[in-house]
Amino acid sequence: MIDGAGVSRFLADEEATLALGASWAASLNAPLTVYLQGDLGAGKTTFTRGLLRGLGHSGAVKSPTYAIVESYPFPAFTLHHFDLYRFGSPEEWEDAGLDDLFGSRSICLIEWPQQGGGFTPAADITLSLNHAERGRTVTLTAHTPQGRKSLEAWLN
């Protein structure tokens, strides 16, 4: 069941994380907000890099740790990749005016969403990456009808 419990997969290596990201590109529809959960080095930025490659982005994909957000325009939507790791307090969300980036044509992927406290918009999907003995496990959970639709189109 996609809702509630979530779907888990094993990702043996970096290539598997990139491939999972790329495989989502064809079924991605805006608006969508995705929380990327997991420790430092879990693969959140790697997953996003794979998704952007799958969408046809051929340039660099920088970790937004210092910039807070990197935005990538595509014909149907703009993908905003956030990293709130360096937030000193949740109010930085408001100071940076990040709500302006959420809209009907936005796909928002957010690393360290908890750093934004109550300011971070709710997620349609949570993608949680965890270190395994070798590789990673990923768990995908939908929280809204839009999130469920996206996961079903992607994983079926």
Q: Give the residues lining the site for ligand ADP (CB under 6 A).
A: 11, 13-14, 16-17, 38, 40-46, 63, 111, 135-136
Q: Which is nearer to ligand ADP, 19 or 155 (CB)?
A: 19
Q: Among residues 17, 33, 37, 45, which is the contact residue for Mg ion, using CB under 5 A?
A: 45
**Residue 42 site contact among ligand ADP, Mg ion, none (CB < 5 to 8 Å, cut-off depends on kind):** ligand ADP
Q: Which of residues 111-140 bind Mg ion (CB under 5 A)?
A: 111
Q: Which is nearer to ligand ADP, 38 or 147 (CB)?
A: 38
Burial bucket for residue 68 (CB in 10 Å: 0-12, 13-18, 19+): middle
Q: Among residues 24, 44, 84, 154, which is the contact residue for Mg ion, using CB under 5 A?
A: 44
* Nearest distance from C-beta of residue 131 to ligand ADP, angstroms: 8
* Nearest distance from C-beta of residue 18 to ligand ADP, angstroms: 8
The size of the interface with Mg ion (CB under 5 A), counted in residues, is: 4
3-state secondary structure string across the chain:
CCECCCEEEEECCHHHHHHHHHHHHHHCCCCEEEEEECCCCCCHHHHHHHHHHHCCCCCCCCCCCCCCEEEEECCCCEEEEEECCCCCCCCHHHHCCHHHHCCCCEEEEEECHHHHHHHCCCCCEEEEEEECCCCEEEEEEECCHHHHHHHHHHHC
* Nearest distance from C-beta of residue 34 to ligand ADP, angstroms: 13
